Structure 1
Amino acid sequence: MKSFKADYVFPVYADPIKNGIVTVDDAGKIISVTDNPSAAGVKPGDIENLNGIICPGFVNTHCHLELSHLKDKIAQGNGLVNFVKEIITIRRNGEVEADAIAAAEKADQEMYDNGIVAVGDIANTDVSLAIKAKSKLYYHTFVEVLGFLPDKANEIFDNALQLLQKFKPAPASITPHAPYSVSKELFKLIKKHSDANNNLISMHNQECEDENKFYRYKLGNFNELYEFLGVDISHFKPQARNSIQSIIPLLTSNQDILLVHNTCTNLKDIYFIKRFDRNIHWCFCPNANLYIEKRLPKINLFLDQGFNITLGTDSLASNTRLCILNEMRTIQQKFPAITLEKLVQWGTLNGAEFLGIAGEIGSLQAGKTPGLNLISGLDGFKITPDTKVKRLI
Structure 2
Amino acid sequence: MRSFIADYVYTIQADPLKNGIVTVDDAGKILSVTDDKTTLPADTEIETLSGVITPGFINTHCHTELSHLEGQIAPGNSLIPFIQDILGFRGKFEDAIIKEAAERADKQMRDNGIVAVGDISNTSFTANLKAASNLYYHTFVEILGFVPSGAEAAFQGALATLEKFKPQSASITAHAPYTVSKELFKLIKKYSDTGTNLLSIHNQECEEENKFYRYKLGAFLDLYKHLNINIDFFKPQARNSLQSIVPLLSNRQKVLLVHNTCTNLKDIYFIKRFDRKINWCFCPNANIYIEKRLPKIELFLNQDMNITLGTDSLASNTKLCILSEMQTIDKNFPSIGFDTLIKWATINGAEFLGIDDSKGSIEPGKTPGLNLLTGMDGTKLTPETTVRKLV
The normalised TM-score by structure 2 is: 0.99
1:145-294 alignment to 2 at 5 Å?
A: 145-294=143-292
Deviations 1:130-152 (A, max 9, x none): 11011010000000000100000
Counterpart AA for 2:174: P
Q: Which residue of 1 aligns with 2:59?
A: 60
Q: Which residue of 1 aligns with 2:28?
A: 28
Q: Which residue of 2 aligns with 1:79?
A: 78
Match of 1:139 among 128, 137, 140: 137
Counterpart AA for 1:16: P
Deviations 1:80-106 (A, max 9, x none): 000000011111x53311111110000
Give the C-alpha shift of residue 42 in structure 1. Answer: 4.9
Give the C-alpha shift of residue 43 in structure 1. Answer: 4.9
Q: Which residue of 2 aligns with 1:374?
A: 372
SS in 2 for 1:180: helix
**Cα-Cα RMSD:** 0.8
Q: Tell me the matched-pair count.
A: 391
Distance 2:40 2:16 in 1: 17
SS in 2 for 1:3: strand
Counterpart AA for 1:161: L
Counterpart AA for 2:68: H
Distance 2:162 2:346 in 1: 26
Q: Which residue of 1 aligns with 2:8?
A: 8
Distance 2:241 2:161 in 1: 27
Deviations 1:290-340 (A, max 9, x none): 000000000000000000000000000000000000000000000001111
Distance 2:277 2:40 in 1: 39
Match of 1:101 among 91, 96, 99: 99
Distance 1:85 1:370 in 2: 39
Distance 2:41 2:267 in 1: 52
Give the C-alpha shift of residue 163 in structure 1. Answer: 0.2
Give the C-alpha shift of residue 195 in structure 1. Answer: 0.2
SS in 1 for 2:286: helix
Distance 1:381 1:29 in 2: 25
Q: Which residue of 2 aligns with 1:383?
A: 381
Give the C-alpha shift of residue 38 in structure 1. Answer: 1.9
Q: Which residue of 1 aligns with 2:19?
A: 19
Q: Which residue of 2 aligns with 1:313?
A: 311
Change (3 A) 1:42 1:213: farther
Give the C-alpha shift of residue 341 in structure 1. Answer: 1.3
Deviations 1:8-65 (A, max 9, x none): 0000011101000000011100011110012233557x21110110000000000000
Distance 1:382 1:364 in 2: 20
Of 31-40 and 73-82, deviating more is 31-40
Distance 2:234 2:50 in 1: 57
Distance 1:117 1:42 in 2: 32
Give the C-alpha shift of residue 345 in structure 1. Answer: 0.6
Q: Determine if contact 1:21/1:40 at 8 Å carries over to the other structure.
A: no
SS in 1 for 2:89: helix
- Within the alignment, does 1:341 sit opposite 2:335 as a pair? no
Distance 1:312 1:89 in 2: 25
Q: Determine if contact 1:339/1:381 at 8 Å carries over to the other structure.
A: no
Give the C-alpha shift of residue 379 in structure 1. Answer: 1.6
Q: Determine if contact 2:52/2:379 at 8 Å carries over to the other structure.
A: no
Counterpart AA for 2:62: C
Distance 2:258 2:32 in 1: 35
SS in 2 for 1:196: coil
Distance 1:148 1:158 in 2: 15
The normalised TM-score by structure 1 is: 0.98
Distance 1:97 1:18 in 2: 49
Q: Determine if contact 1:37/1:43 at 8 Å carries over to the other structure.
A: no
Give the C-alpha shift of residue 169 in structure 1. Answer: 1.0
Distance 1:52 1:342 in 2: 18
Distance 2:159 2:286 in 1: 29
Report % sequence identity: 65
Counterpart AA for 1:83: F
Unaligned runs of 5+ in 2: none
